[in-house]
Amino acid sequence: MAVHAHPDDESSKGAATMARYAAEGVEVLVVTCTGGERGDILNPAMDRPEIKADITGVRQREMAAAREILGVDQSWLGFVDSGFPEGDPPPPLPEGCFAAQPLEVASEPLVRAVREFRPHVMLTYDEKGGYPHPDHVKCHEVSMEAFEAAGDPDRYPGTGEPWQPLKLYYHMSFTLDRLLALHQGMLDAGLESPYKDWLKRWEDGDPQPWEVTTRVPCGEYFETRDKALLAHATQIDPNGFWFMVPLDLQRQVWPTEDYHLARSLVDTELPEDDLFAGIQEKACCS
């Protein structure tokens, strides 16, 4: 189960991993916390009045196309996008939005989803949300709450039979090591690197708070990932940043998607190359 804040997040973080496991017969569920209603239209070709008038429906249809490409199931928690507050000081959150919900209110439908789907592994963001969007931070909070609470029969009564996931990971999609490797790979190939400005912002130190514990080989699914990302046409410019590094170079330089193992109730040896490391042994022996 991959828990994400908005439609399109699932295609930019861990998408090739999900496509690989789905192709191997693993049941994969994306849980999308909000409808992305307050997201900006980031693709100039889609910045049209009729799109803006039906942004909720458009983003639902984009999500349906992306999940079909990835080969995964997907469900909505039903909360409203909080938007990204800008200003100094930032404005208050919109009334009733996801990030403004009390923790137990925001977590209840995710606990219900965990108890219904019964995942062995959960994927989410770290405590900073990967970046400080209030919905991403809230997504982390509800994911941690659901992981801890779903197996406790005394918590969240009426949301189904208890189920305890065994492992929880944080996405480590944009580590300094990965960006440096791709940057150098582009330069070595005589190509302009899209990461120059990004790396300059990191010159004062590596902002990565968590170590990478798990690298999942999934390079053969990078094209599937990109197709799913392009399905979110209001959010992704096909001529933009995401597609500047050739897929063959990506596969050569960095053929994995990377994670931090934040919680584990099974024995596993680090580093890992499989999100299910230790789980088969647990299932066989319990």
Q: Are 67 and 242 in contact, with CB atoms under 8 Å apart?
A: no
136 has binding-site annotation? yes
* HEC assignment per residue over the chain: CEEECCCCHHHHCCHHHHHHHHHCCCCCEEEEEECCCCCCCCCHHHCCHHHHHCHHHHHHHHHHHHHHHHCCEEEEEEECCCCCCCCCCCCCCCCCCHHHCCHHHHHHHHHHHHHHHCCCEEEECCCCCCCCCHHHHHHHHHHHHHHHHCCCCCCCCCCCCCCCCCEEEEECCCCHHHHHHHHHHHHHCCCCCCCHHHHHHCCCCCCCCCCCCEEEECHHHHHHHHHHHHHCCCCCCCCCHHHCCCHHHHHHHCCEEEEEEEEECCCCCCCECCCCCCHHHHHHHC
Question: How distant, in Å, are the alpha carbons of 250, 266, 286 from that of 45?
Answer: 27, 48, 54
133 has binding-site annotation? no
Q: Are 4 and 36 in contact, with CB atoms under 8 Å apart?
A: no
9 has binding-site annotation? yes
Q: Exposed/middle/buried for 102, CB within 10 Å: 0-12, 13-18, 19+?
A: exposed
Binding-site residue set for Zn(2+): 6, 9, 136
Binding-site residue set: 6, 9, 136
